[in-house]
């Protein structure tokens, strides 16, 4: 099993891609990207996760291959 440890990426990258099994560990938290409905990605892929922000409040949503679903 390969392992890459990253303490901090700075400046923040706008797009990081992980493939295969990705494990996050520790006692802190990570920030899920997000924005308003109009800022949703235009290239949709099933499994995308983001925070939806705006009039409906803040919620985590994912793209199921057909539509965005709030968790």
Please report whether residue 55 resides in a domain: yes
- Model pLDDT, residue 11: 58
Strand (E) positions, the chain? 34-35, 49-52, 59-63, 68-70
Distance CA 15, CA 45 (A): 14
Distances (CA, A) of 28 to 25, 37, 48: 8, 28, 22
pLDDT, one tens digit per residue, over 12-70 is 556 666 667 777 778 888 888 899 999 999 999 999 999 999 876 789 999 999 999 99
Please report whether residue 23 resides in a domain: no
- Model pLDDT, residue 35: 93
Please report whether residue 57 resides in a domain: yes
pLDDT at 1 over 60: no
Please report whether residue 25 resides in a domain: no
Q: Number of folded domains in the chain?
A: 1
pLDDT, one tens digit per residue, over 2-11 is 666 666 665 5
Please report whether residue 12 resides in a domain: no
Which residues constitute the domain of residue 57? 34-70
In a 13 Å sphere around the CA of 31, the CA atoms on its Cβ side amount to 9
Please report whether residue 38 resides in a domain: yes
Please report whether residue 1 resides in a domain: no
Please report whether residue 17 resides in a domain: no
- Model pLDDT, residue 22: 73
């Amino acid at each position: 099993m390969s392992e890459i440890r990253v303490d901090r990426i700075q400046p923040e990258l706008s797009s990081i891609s992980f493939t295969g099994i990705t494990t996050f560990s520790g006692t802190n938290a990570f920030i899920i990207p997000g924005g308003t409905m109009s800022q949703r990605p235009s290239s949709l892929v099933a499994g995308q996760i983001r925070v939806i922000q705006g009039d409906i409040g803040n919620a985590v949503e994912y793209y199921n291959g057909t539509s965005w679903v709030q968790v």
